[in-house]
Structure 1
Amino acid sequence: MASKKNEKLKLEIAKELGLLEKVQKEGWKSLSAKETGRIGGLMAKRKKLG
């Protein structure tokens, strides 16, 4: 159940960063390390707050 929450949050953040279309077309592996790091950082921040 937690992984579904994580996936939803990850998609939400990708959308906010303008990366959702890229992820949907090419998958998560198409993201650069910088993009992946931004998503991970925001996920950690939001988990800590919420």
Structure 2
Amino acid sequence: MSKELREKEFTPELMMKYEIAEELGLLEKVKSFGWGGLTAKETGRIGGLITVRKKKNQNRDQNKGE
């Protein structure tokens, strides 16, 4: 698979990252400057929210099995 195709694949985690950026009002900045154009504070906020959502999803999935 070519590098270009791999870069265009949207995994569930990447989709979550874009959704959170949009919720925080950072999506246009990401589109203009890329992920590297965000400040450390902005990327930390996105990373923190990804972690929270993953934990919620794990807990939800575990509770389904009970």
The verdict on a shared fold, with TM-score over 0.5 as the criterion, is yes
Q: Which of the residues 23, 27, 31 maps onto 2:34? A: 27
Q: Whose radius of gyration is greater, 1 or 2?
A: 2
Runs of 4+ aligned structure 1 residues displaced above 4 Å come to: none
2:21 matched to 1:14? yes
Equivalenced residue count is 48
Tell me: higher relative CO, structure 1 or 2? Use CA pairs within 8 A at least 6 residues apart.
Answer: 1
Identity across the alignment (%): 58
Unaligned stretches of 5+ residues in structure 2: 1-9, 58-66
Q: Equivalents in 2 of 1:26, 1:33: separation in Å?
A: 14
Aligned to 1:39: 46
Q: Give the aligned CA root-mean-square deviation in angstroms.
A: 1.0
